[in-house]
Structure 1
Amino acid sequence: MISPYGTWASPISSAEAAAVASGPQWAGLYADQLWWAEGQPTEGGRVALFRARPGAEPVRVLGAPWNVRNRVHEYGGRPYVVLDGPRVVFTNWDDQRVYLLDLSGGDGEPVPLTPEPATRHGLRFGDLVARPGGTEVCCVREEITGPGPTDVRRSLVAIGLDGTLRELKSSHRFMTAPQCSPDGRHMAWIGWNHPDMPWDATELCVAPIRPDGSVGAHRVLAGGRDEAVCQVEWADNESVYGVTDPDGWWNLFRIDLDGTARNVAPIADELGGPLWKLGARWFAPLSDGRHAVLRAGSLAVLDESAGTVTDLDLPPLSWLPPLAGSGSTIVGIASGPTSHGAVYRVDLDTGDCVRVTTPPAGLDDPAWLPVPEARVFTGPDGQRIPAYLYPPTSPDFAAPEGELPPYLVHVHGGPTGRISGTLDSEFTYFTSRGIGVVAVNYGGSTGYGREFRERLRGQWGVVDVEDCAAVASALAAEGTADPERLAIRGGSAGGWTTAASLTSVKVYRCGAAYYPILDLLAWASGETHDFESQYLDSIVGRLPETEQRYLDRSPCSRVDRLAGPILMLQGLEDEICPPVQCERFAAQLAGTGIEHAYLTFEGEQHGFRKAETVAAALEAELSFYGQVLGFVPVGVPTLELSR
């Protein structure tokens, strides 16, 4: 059937797209069992816990209302650990307490191990790790010490299965959970301080464990200025493995306790990533000196004796941390160009790659799924800009001859995020209706080495904006996209780039900003959480010396330069990019004559988790594009725009 782009009917409803928007996470291998957490969009967005025995169907371990999630650093950290028994220790979102669930006698009831805090979420725990002996769990504890967002103290603690709690160390403003040596004589961890972020500079620390269980003075084995250790595991009693980047690429090093370090397989590729969530693991020791590693999203095996990194011959999948492994078995989460995220088990002896979990129904017909095309564009400074093109795709519709499709430039968050060219339910919602999407890995994205990542130093709001505009303009120039119907969208840092683009370049007709940063100076002066409260020092500049730069780049300072309509979508419980940012911007837009809409959602934090929220946001976004770009989408309510 011939119909204009944007007007195609699609069987992929907003509800279906929302139902598959959250996949498995935190996969682990304990004895012969697989464990993982998984978001439940249709159950209020809570996170459930699952396990699967070999050859058996997955079993949900914790039903409603348990929510296996925590808010350490607001982004959360590893929320559970499995002990012998089996027993599982986990964090619960509603009260942020740590619980013990003993499954040795069947279906038990969770028992709290940590006290009820004096104020709601006043104590948070994350990145749970079992301590040798099986009677304690080590983790990061956050204590809220005052009313301000940076009134936080962190420490490494040990939680006994009897409910006892001991503080182990408080060496830095930020730390990962401690890793005990096999003989229990030393402890290793990673720490960093303001204004560094964990992908800029961290320190790998080690300290003796005294006979009474306390931790002594620590030494720094690796890391420091312009070096970021992102993972540590013990190799033996006298050395650790650390993923670090002194040469500009995250590689695997073996580091002795005297500080002697050796890159076990030098490679100009990333074997690590940004530590946004505590507990992420990019490598897992196997057997015979082999390690499962993630090489920029590909699953590979590092052979320490040969000094090689070899990609596995597997279906086209992009893998996410954390990895888990034992012997010749690797467990992780992966998705493909036309397949949802799922837990996979790989057997190196047989070569088998088995999908353990079955994604929820929806987006199953490949005829409706765009196959992403990897592209590389050239930026204004001559730098390469990787991107993935998701073309309009429908087995039932085609556009009139000569019509070019509208295109959405999708900007990932972070800004140290990365797009991997896999199936995305939100993208498919648009492409199946005749709207193309291009997802851009602009300067500052991870996966391309420190030099590419540091293109954003002092340049946030410049490099990201210019790279995205260069991609959009190139698509228009080559005849792929309609130059008069380009839009930009993104969430968090992607929402910032969306608004910054609309107020600085004349490439786009409109944009959709999800939970964005809009006022840099206010955000850096007490409107965000502690973890990112000094992030802008590196990607914008130090205050107060560069205050004018903050003002000049902020969309809230340039409302009069807005190139077109803007849609803002915001969770009302967001502590990272709080609603006041959008409220301030919406107030400035009122009465200007510029079309805009501001939608808020109760019970949502940073990133939407409820199916009804995701569905409503997608329908609003589609209606918004239709009104601005000149087409009438099928089957969605009309979004009311203000002026």
Structure 2
Amino acid sequence: MTDPTVAHAPPATERPYGTWPSAVTTALVAGKTVGLSALQTDGDAIFWLETRPSEAGRTVLVRWTAQGGTVDVTPPPLDIGTRVHEYGGGAYVVSGGRVAFSSRTDGSIWIVEADGPARPISAVAGLRFADFAFDPAGDRLFCVREDHRAGGEPVSTLVALPLAAGDPATQEGRILVSGPDFVSSPRPSPDGRYLAWIEWNHPSMPWEATRLRVARLARDASGGCALDDARTMAGDGEPESVIEPAWADAQVLYAASDRSGWWNLLRFTLPDGAPAPVAPMEAEIGLPHWVFGQRSYRPLADGSILAIAIDHGEGRTIRITGGAPPSVTVRPASLGHPAQCPAPLPDGSLAWIDTPPDGPPAVVHGHDGVPPDILRVATDLPLAPGDIARAETIRFPLPDGPGGALRGHAFFYPPANSRFHGPADERPPLIVMAHGGPTGRASEAFSFKVQWWTSRGFAVVDVNYGGSTGFGRTYRQRLEGKWGEIDVADCIAACQHLIETGRVDPHRVAIRGSSAGGLTVLLALARSSLFAAGASLYGVTDLRALAQETHKFESRYLDSLVGPYPAAEATYLARSPLTQATGIRAPVLFLHGLDDAVVPPGQARAMAHALADNGVPHAHYEFPGESHGFRREETIRRALDLELDFYGQIFGFTVPDVSERVVMRS
């Protein structure tokens, strides 16, 4: 029997796929949704960063306490961020009531003590700082410094920066580590006796080969410090990626290493420091070092370790107890879906940014196994459960796997809108997504970049092509020397799998990607007739120009992905969409920021001109004030509308209520 007091939703209306009215509007995605990141705890206070599109993309430090609630720590016009390595991260640190942070505007460093006003301690033109750590034994800040003053490639060093205002020389910081091309993760031991850090050199990327170093901190009578007896703890033998050092106590240091084929934890006990595996597993505790400040695990006060393990592309939270094999125990922790490893609070609870598959990110705190308290939600979501598309993991055969034994990985999202359904004789159009990096990963977390499409009647497949992380070093290395081939083939294979299983319309398939994903998009269009359209957001089009023009961090990235330049120039030409433009017949949309230092805007311009020369329909839009990735509300809203109208024109339906129609050229 039915309960007459329960209200029932009206039956869904039949309407062609791709034309469904949606509550996921540009105002919701771009104006009412804040970015939540970089959560830290200090005593019983919880801190996090909010990026607010409605404030021109300004990033604000926010603090929550049980007594005072939620307050902004940094008032306008302060904008927290750093451009070290261009991608930034690690833009603030908090400890003992003190906060240090970097200003995105000019790279200056500021300090906030107690509830006092923010004051600058370094403002030197041409210097950028990131990855901060307070010295437990002194009034200084350890950090990465990137020096752009001499022109050419910037110089990366680890420095100690006095917290007191001083003369301009002290504002530059005292150099502790110099020589390596890159440094990161300065982590002092709790007693201030040691400093651990990560370093690496060209042509390696940090997910290919790094070194973990530790040195004694020597202090002089004037309050200065230097490093003594520096030694390599891991990374001196066969190439391995060692990342994320973290101290458990004054003598025990942990780090994640992929020497086993997976990023797993190693334990080092000072002073001897021999590495000991902690909990070997075929899962990844670690992420590629694109940004500073990532936390995939945390040693806790009770001797256990809380960690996020990525198992076949899907994250799960675990607790490791018992020290080391064979006594070690690994058990699941019921803590939702943390974006980074939860941070401890004095009462034994934890705080984290939750990224569930069926709702927007939120700052939460609570205990293992208990529903957490929600402190801040990225947006109020006006969606019913039936309006939200949930990720379905799919596996499909890959062309480079003998006998179909090697399987590809992707997340598939069917259309979802409780008010509408498609005609029985129709299959939905498909959006194929190629993530950036290319050393990155597609995640199953709720994302408006997916829900924007599924709520309108599109299906989406987000492909973890060869080279993606979360599947071990061997899967990541599938892309070595093969960028522009393996990624393209895997995206095509995912698309073919969905077509062959009857889940999507084979005549209405589009492919989109940003940054490195843009190259995948354009080469897929050149090599396959499966795709009716493609969208490249600040995408790579000319590999030779990228090798010569891009920033220091990625300037040798292509050595492993394509080959050394100029020795492998023929391969660079063969893999560049710009030289393959004659193979593209499907329409293309280009969206690019004019301040992009990673993939300069000239790359999209050159590709648009090549398509124009070939008479291929295309549209090209540039956005002033935007760099590599869009942050401003007006940009995000306009980009969403343009891309939606673009697909509508290609797939043959009118999209209502967009702010701007795409103007196609050919």
Is residue 45–residue 609 contact of structure 1 (8 Å, CA) maintained in 2?
yes
CA distance in 2, matches of 1:217, 1:556: 51
Tell me the C-alpha RMSD between the 2 structures. Answer: 1.7
CA distance in 2, matches of 1:543, 1:14: 42
Structure 2 residue 339 is the aligned partner of structure 1 residue 320 = yes
CA distance in 2, matches of 1:374, 1:522: 37
Structure 2 residue 499 is the aligned partner of structure 1 residue 476 = yes
Structure 2 residue 555 is the aligned partner of structure 1 residue 533 = yes
CA distance in 1, matches of 2:585, 2:34: 33
Output the amino acid matched with 1:39. Answer: T
Distance 1:364 1:101, change over 3 A: farther
Output the amino acid matched with 2:528. Answer: V
Q: Give the counterpart of 1:400 among 411, 423, 433.
A: 423
CA distance in 2, matches of 1:217, 1:174: 20
CA distance in 2, matches of 1:508, 1:500: 11
Distance 1:190 1:588, change over 3 A: same
Alignment deviations for residues 464-523 of structure 1 (CA, whole Å, 9 cap, x no partner):
000010011111111111111111011111111111211222221111110001100110
Is residue 18–residue 425 contact of structure 1 (8 Å, CA) maintained in 2?
no
**How big is the shift at 1:601?**
0.7
Q: Which residue of 2 aligns with 1:520?
A: 543
Distance 1:365 1:309, change over 3 A: same
Is residue 82–residue 89 contact of structure 2 (8 Å, CA) maintained in 1?
yes
Alignment deviations for residues 595-642 of structure 1 (CA, whole Å, 9 cap, x no partner):
101111111111111111111111100111111122211212321001
Output the amino acid matched with 1:342. Answer: A
Q: Which residue of 2 aligns with 1:153?
A: 155
**How big is the shift at 1:87?**
2.5
Q: In structure 2, the residue corresponding to 1:531 is in which secondary structure?
A: helix
Give the number of the structure with larger relative contact order, counting CA–CA contacts within 8 Å between residues 6 or more apart: 1
CA distance in 2, matches of 1:12, 1:321: 26
CA distance in 2, matches of 1:134, 1:496: 48
Q: Give the counterpart of 2:460 among 429, 433, 437.
A: 437
Give 1:370-409 correspondences, 5 Å limit.
370-382=389-401, 383-409=406-432
Q: In structure 2, the residue corresponding to 1:178 is in which secondary structure?
A: strand
Alignment deviations for residues 206-245 of structure 1 (CA, whole Å, 9 cap, x no partner):
1222232111352111024431111112234444111111
Distance 1:128 1:211, change over 3 A: closer
CA distance in 1, matches of 2:386, 2:299: 40
Q: Which residue of 1 aligns with 2:4?
A: none
Q: Which residue of 1 aligns with 2:8?
A: none
Question: Which stretch of structure 1 is more off in the superposition, 407-416 or 206-215?
Answer: 206-215
Q: Which residue of 2 aligns with 1:188?
A: 196
Distance 1:356 1:437, change over 3 A: same
**How big is the shift at 1:448?**
0.9
Output the amino acid matched with 2:520. Answer: T
Q: Which residue of 1 aligns with 2:9?
A: none
Is residue 33–residue 378 contact of structure 2 (8 Å, CA) maintained in 1?
no
Q: Which residue of 2 aligns with 1:128?
A: 132
Output the amino acid matched with 1:574. Answer: D
CA distance in 2, matches of 1:263, 1:388: 32
Distance 1:479 1:21, change over 3 A: farther
Q: Which residue of 2 aligns with 1:447?
A: 470
Structure 2 residue 119 is the aligned partner of structure 1 residue 111 = yes
Is residue 482–residue 562 contact of structure 2 (8 Å, CA) maintained in 1?
yes
Output the amino acid matched with 1:310. Answer: R
Question: Which stretch of structure 1 is more off in the superposition, 500-509 or 527-536?
Answer: 500-509
CA distance in 2, matches of 1:66, 1:278: 20
Q: In structure 2, the residue corresponding to 1:218 is in which secondary structure?
A: strand
Q: Which residue of 2 aligns with 1:597?
A: 619
Q: In structure 2, the residue corresponding to 1:232 is in which secondary structure?
A: strand
Q: Give the counterpart of 1:543 among 559, 562, 565.
A: 565
CA distance in 2, matches of 1:322, 1:603: 33
CA distance in 2, matches of 1:21, 1:426: 12
Q: Which residue of 1 aligns with 2:51?
A: 39
Q: Which residue of 2 aligns with 1:333?
A: 353
**How big is the shift at 1:368?**
1.8
Output the amino acid matched with 2:321. Answer: D
Structure 2 residue 41 is the aligned partner of structure 1 residue 29 = yes
Q: Give the counterpart of 2:299 among 280, 285, 292.
A: 285
Is residue 285–residue 325 contact of structure 1 (8 Å, CA) maintained in 2?
no
Q: Which residue of 1 aligns with 2:187?
A: 179
Q: Give the counterpart of 2:649 among 627, 639, 643.
A: 627
Q: Which residue of 2 aligns with 1:301?
A: 319
**How big is the shift at 1:258?**
2.9
Q: Which residue of 2 aligns with 1:489?
A: 512
CA distance in 2, matches of 1:190, 1:20: 38
Output the amino acid matched with 2:364. Answer: Y
CA distance in 1, matches of 2:613, 2:248: 64
CA distance in 2, matches of 1:323, 1:127: 18
**How big is the shift at 1:184?**
2.4
TM-score by length of 1: 0.94
CA distance in 2, matches of 1:363, 1:583: 39
Is residue 284–residue 471 contact of structure 2 (8 Å, CA) maintained in 1?
yes
Tell me, which stretches of 5 or more residues in structure 1 are unaligned?
A: none
**How big is the shift at 1:76?**
0.5
Give 1:108-257 correspondences, 5 Å limit.
108-117=116-125, 122-133=126-137, 135-148=139-152, 151-163=153-165, 164=170, 165-212=173-220, 213-224=225-236, 225-256=238-269, 257=271
Distance 1:499 1:508, change over 3 A: same
Output the amino acid matched with 2:399. Answer: P
Is residue 266–residue 307 contact of structure 1 (8 Å, CA) maintained in 2?
no
Distance 1:42 1:49, change over 3 A: same
Give 1:603-614 correspondences, 5 Å limit.
603-614=625-636
Task: State the number of aligned residues.
Answer: 629
Alignment deviations for residues 155-209 of structure 1 (CA, whole Å, 9 cap, x no partner):
1111121034322211411111422223322211000011111111100001222
**How big is the shift at 1:55?**
6.3
Q: In structure 1, the residue corresponding to 2:475 is in which secondary structure?
A: helix
Distance 1:21 1:463, change over 3 A: farther
Q: In structure 2, the residue corresponding to 1:280 is in which secondary structure?
A: coil
Is residue 44–residue 65 contact of structure 2 (8 Å, CA) maintained in 1?
yes
Is residue 343–residue 357 contact of structure 1 (8 Å, CA) maintained in 2?
yes
Distance 1:556 1:542, change over 3 A: same
**How big is the shift at 1:442?**
0.8
**How big is the shift at 1:320?**
2.0
Q: Which residue of 1 aligns with 2:73?
A: 61
Question: Which stretch of structure 1 is more off in the superposition, 93-102 or 173-182?
Answer: 173-182
Is residue 78–residue 278 contact of structure 1 (8 Å, CA) maintained in 2?
yes
Q: Which residue of 1 aligns with 2:112?
A: 101
CA distance in 2, matches of 1:557, 1:147: 31
Question: Which stretch of structure 1 is more off in the superposition, 438-447 or 633-642?
Answer: 633-642
Output the amino acid matched with 2:450. Answer: F
Q: Which residue of 1 aligns with 2:10?
A: none
Is residue 537–residue 543 contact of structure 1 (8 Å, CA) maintained in 2?
yes
Question: Which stretch of structure 1 is more off in the superposition, 191-200 or 61-70?
Answer: 61-70
CA distance in 2, matches of 1:314, 1:209: 37
**How big is the shift at 1:323?**
4.1
CA distance in 2, matches of 1:566, 1:134: 56
Query: Which aligned segments of 4 or more residues in structure 1 are displaced greater than 6 angstroms?
Result: none
Q: Give the counterpart of 1:3 among 5, 12, 15.
A: 15
Is residue 441–residue 464 contact of structure 2 (8 Å, CA) maintained in 1?
yes
Is residue 107–residue 123 contact of structure 2 (8 Å, CA) maintained in 1?
no
**How big is the shift at 1:261?**
1.0
CA distance in 2, matches of 1:620, 1:199: 35
Q: Give the counterpart of 1:78 among 90, 94, 98.
A: 90
Distance 1:322 1:280, change over 3 A: farther
Q: Which residue of 1 aligns with 2:3?
A: none
**How big is the shift at 1:54?**
2.8
**How big is the shift at 1:267?**
1.2
Structure 2 residue 347 is the aligned partner of structure 1 residue 343 = no
CA distance in 2, matches of 1:115, 1:128: 16
Is residue 307–residue 341 contact of structure 2 (8 Å, CA) maintained in 1?
no
Is residue 317–residue 334 contact of structure 2 (8 Å, CA) maintained in 1?
no
CA distance in 2, matches of 1:338, 1:570: 30
Distance 1:313 1:83, change over 3 A: closer
Distance 1:55 1:394, change over 3 A: farther
CA distance in 2, matches of 1:416, 1:322: 21
CA distance in 2, matches of 1:362, 1:620: 23
**How big is the shift at 1:399?**
1.9
